[in-house]
Amino acid sequence: MLVSTALVLLMTPALGFFYAGMVRSKNVLNTLMMSFVPLGFVGIAWALAGYAIAFGSGFFLQGVGLEAKGSIPHVLFMAYQGTFAIITAALISGAIVERMRFVPYLAFVTAWSLAVYAPVAQWVWGGGWLARLGALDFAGGTVVHVNAAVAALVVAVVVGARRDYGRQAIVPQNVPHTLLGAGLLWLGWFGFNGGSALASNASAALAFTNTMFAPIATLCVWTLVDLVRTGKATAIGAATAIVVGLVAITPAAGFVSPLSAIALGAIAAFPSYFALLWRTRTRLDDSLDVLAAHGCGGIVGALLTGVFAQKEWSGGASGLLFGNPKQLGIQAAAVGATIVYSGAITFVLLKAIGLVTSLRARAEEEGIGLDVTQHGEEAYSRGEGAILILPEGGR
């Protein structure tokens, strides 16, 4: 569990690189910071209040000690769950890169982690109503991915499209970063899914194995679809496929057989692939396709969990294929409830922050780029024309 916690924490910087590779060079640092800074702010919010809301202990970590929670110490459980809150909030940033101001973004993700993530986590993992209903979500297909993707859709609509979107070509600044990010996300995801067994046991081994094989299947299918459609297998496509496969297996990891995981990963490629193509023809500037990758992948994964779950592997519930059609309905209810709740509260939070300050950067700031205007740094600076300012009273 110690290793799993560290692996999941690594996913957030990895996500930063995955995203930052796909923006223009004038917005790289801003995109990275949108993943890095939730590590701080969402992390604090989780410790002070989020954990209490989601898992019913006291605020300010009252009652979180060294005693066992399941098979691991309570403090470790709290830290492990905290890494999930952080990555979920950071996922949203892919929808609003290159235009949202940094301070309102920080306020939004911090508030979102308390008002949306923590309650939804309570429903599914904290003994809430979806848990009682019997919804299966092994590592967060609904809680993390559908939840973040719906928020991403809403924030993309409320903040609005980039001014250059649909007017001029916006091309990725560093595709190798995106591939590196996808690779590190895969590594981290072994902690995300494997660790969600909350013990080093057979269930963890199953989740680990499925986390390896579902993305493998998605990667194969995606590459083949790419080849058939355009005659070329794209690198960003491969990186996306890995993430889609990982998202899709997340809710099912500890409930399905490895062969089902391969089928699930293969099926998951299609909705996301075509959602991506559809999205670029619309005015919806979900810039890095959080909805297509995490929304479609998450929903497909959550529903297919209700199809492929198997008592022999899950040690409990079965799905449609194994004699329990009702499970599919429960899965759909969990997805539906998350979509409605996350969508509504995200909208309210954004409007509330929008009353205090403007959410998006001015036209000229967007033109110059958010690295210089929001952070006062450049990602790839040559240093030409830079004049050193000596500190007052120095030397």
Which positions touch another protein (CB under 8 A)? 164, 167-168, 363-364, 367-368, 372, 376-378, 381, 384-389, 391
CB of 394 to another protein, least distance (A): 10
CB of 368 to another protein, least distance (A): 7
Residues in the chain, how many?
395
Task: Return the exposure string of 214-241: e unless at least 16 CB atoms fall within 10 Å of the residue's CB, then b.
Answer: bbbbbbbbbbebbeeeeeeeeeebbbbb
356 or 389: whose CB is closer to another protein?
Answer: 389
CB of 101 to another protein, least distance (A): 17
Assess contact for 91 and 83: CB atoms under 8 A.
no
CB of 363 to another protein, least distance (A): 8
Task: Return the exposure string of 169-180: e unless at least 16 CB atoms fall within 10 Å of the residue's CB, then b.
Answer: ebebbbeebbbb
205 or 368: whose CB is closer to another protein?
Answer: 368
CA 283 – CA 352 distance, rounded (Å): 24
Nearest one of 13, 2, 15, 5 to 294, comparing CA atoms: 15
CB of 366 to another protein, least distance (A): 8
228 or 363: whose CB is closer to another protein?
Answer: 363
Assess contact for 292 and 272: CB atoms under 8 A.
yes
217 or 370: whose CB is closer to another protein?
Answer: 370
Q: List, in order, residues 6 or more apart from 26 with CB less than 8 Å away.
A: 368, 369, 370, 371, 372
CB of 385 to another protein, least distance (A): 3
279 or 375: whose CB is closer to another protein?
Answer: 375
CB of 168 to another protein, least distance (A): 4
62 or 168: whose CB is closer to another protein?
Answer: 168
Handedness of CA 138, 256, 130, 299 (dihedral sign): positive
Assess contact for 297 and 268: CB atoms under 8 A.
yes
SS3 275: helix
DSSP labels, 117-172:
IHHHHHHHHSS-HHHHHT---SS-IIIIIIHHHHHHHHHHHHH---TTTTTS----
23 or 276: whose CB is closer to another protein?
Answer: 23
CA 148 – CA 296 distance, rounded (Å): 12
231 or 391: whose CB is closer to another protein?
Answer: 391
CB of 62 to another protein, least distance (A): 38
